[in-house]
Amino acid sequence: NYILAIETSCDETAAAIVKNGSEIIANVVASQIDSHKRFGGVVPEIASRHHVEQMTVVLEEAFAQAKMTWDEIDCIAVTEGPGLVGALLIGVNTAKALAFAKQKPLVGVHHIAGHIYANRFEKEFTFPLLALVVSGGHTELILMKEHGSFEVIGETRDDAAGEAYDKVARMLDLPYPGGPQIDRLASVGKESIPFPRAWLEEDSYDFSFSGLKSSVINTIHNAKQRDQTLKKEDIAASFQASVVEVLTEKTYKAANQFAVKQVIVAGGVAANSGLREAIQRRFADTGIPVSIPPLKLCTDNAAMIAAAGTVFYQQGRRAGWDLNANPSLLLK
Ligand code: ATP
Ligand code: MG
Ligand code: FE
């Protein structure tokens, strides 16, 4: 079957067509990064306006790439949440209008389910499976016992990993989005500053990044007061080492405790070269296969929404005309 998917939860307007849940036929992403850069982050009102302007352009481009017509589409999937409500509404209303006009079934998809299913283009899922989700708004360890079932076993108590990257980048006067910038600097810097590791309680799979963030602020501040110069590269490398070590070790421990058959990494921070390498290395001798999407499927796109949408469609889930954007939708 062929699923058309729409994703507008944040600052990328995206449409994709996917065959049988695992083959990308078309994948179009219009990024708004340049429009938000000068504000140092995503401005919700600007994001909504861009989605309105780009939505039909992106959809037409997807059909052009696929060389397909509406007759061949079996279902429309759309991100219903979580995200910016004004941004989500553009996608949801476009999907509803198209489903009505073209007489197609409609499926709502949780954005994080989409990030997880970006891995379906890499490898077929083997359950039980552990997903480390690290993105701009989420940091979670999710246990999946079957397709479409998600059990959150740990999550961040404050900032998300991507949020921490973006905030630390701002302290270092690096442009938005900061994650890729820190990643680049970290690769040439030295781990010379012993930033804290937030292990939390012995048996907890939760995360916390606010202490690390404060520690980075204090370190920069103290160095300034003493007229010392710290290299940005070294701050980046030391910060990244703390984030990567905690993410990797907690994933390793949970993978063993729950005896999973596969580990996957998902979300924008899964693009981080330090994390990709550390996770692969940690699991190298365990016999547990690790899957991480290629860089452009780590950050927001609609192909991942189509992949998750295909599974929901096959399970018989359908959205009604009352489908609505839900900025705080829970994953279940
Ligand atoms: P969510 O998916 O939680 O709703 P989002 O959609 O805004 O949030 P994503 O698009 O999944 O987030 O990811 C964007 C985040 O990933 C940003 O915080 C960005 O800095 C981070 N990021 C992207 N590339 C890298 C990288 N190479 N290293 C670290 N972080 C990165
Ligand atoms: Mg984004
Ligand atoms: Fe995302």
pLDDT (tens digit per residue) in 189-221: 999 999 999 999 999 999 999 999 999 999 999
pLDDT, tens digit (0-9, with 9 covering 90-100), for 152-189: 999 999 999 999 999 999 999 999 899 999 999 999 99
Task: Determine if residue 134 is labeled as part of a ligand binding site.
Answer: yes
At 103-120, the pLDDT tens digits run 999 999 999 999 999 999
Query: Which pLDDT value is given to residue 37?
Result: 87
For a pLDDT cut of 70, what percent of the chain falls above it? Answer: 100
- Ligand 1 proximity of 206 Cβ (cutoff 6 Å): no
Residue 108: per-residue pLDDT: 98
Find the mean pLDDT for residues 21-33: 96
Residue 266 has pLDDT above 90, yes or no: yes
Ligand 3 center–CA 136 separation, angstroms: 6
Q: How far apart are CA 60 and CA 62, in angstroms?
A: 5
Which pLDDT belongs to residue 332?
A: 83
By alpha-carbon position, which residue is closest to atom 11 of ligand 1? Answer: 268
Q: How far is the CA of 239 from the centre of ligand 1 (A)?
A: 16
Annotated ligand binding at 183? The verdict is yes
Q: Quick one: which ligand is closest to 267's CA?
A: 1
Tell me the Ramachandran region of residue 103: left when phi exceeds 0, alpha when psi lies from -120 to 50, beta otherwise.
left
Q: Are the beta carbons of 47 and 10 closer than 8 angstroms? A: yes
Residue 25: burial class (beta carbons within 10 Å; 0-12, 13-18, 19+): buried
Cβ proximity of 36 and 10 under 8 Å: no
Q: Does residue 272 have a pLDDT over 90? A: yes
Cβ(299) – ligand 1 distance below 6 Å: yes
pLDDT in tens, 51-104: 999 999 999 999 999 999 999 999 999 999 999 999 999 999 999 999 999 999
pLDDT score of 35? 87
pTM: 0.97
156 lines ligand 1 (CB under 6 A): no
Angle at 204 between CA 198 and CA 208, to 5 degrees: 30
113-135: average pLDDT: 98
Give the pLDDT confidence score for residue 38 in this predicted structure: 85
Whether 318 has a pLDDT exceeding 90, the answer reads: yes
Average pLDDT over residues 123-144: 98
The mean pLDDT value of the chain amounts to: 97
pLDDT beyond 90 at 33: no
Cβ(136) – ligand 1 distance below 6 Å: yes
Cβ of 80 below 6 Å from ligand 1: no
Please state, for a pLDDT cut of 90, what percent of the chain lies above it. Answer: 96
- Determine whether 227 is exposed, middle or buried from the number of CB atoms within 10 Å of its CB (0-12, 13-18, 19+): exposed
Q: Which atom of ligand 1 is nearest to the CA of 112?
A: 2
> Which residue is closest in CA terms to ligand 1's atom 7?
136
The SS3 of residue 26 is strand
pLDDT the model gives residue 114:
98
Q: Whose CA is nearest to atom 13 of ligand 1?
A: 268
pLDDT of amino acid 180: 97
Instruction: Report residue 249 as tokens.
Output: 């070790």
**Sign for the pseudo-dihedral over CA of 148, 150, 156, 158:** positive
Would the CB of 110 count as within 6 Å of ligand 1?
A: no
Mean pLDDT, residues 115-129 taken together: 97
Residues near ion ligand 3 (CB < 5 Å) are: 135, 300
Q: How many CA atoms lie within 13 A of 298 on its CB side?
A: 24
Which of 110, 300, 326, 329 is the pocket-test mutation for ligand 1 (most atoms within 8 Å of CB)? 300
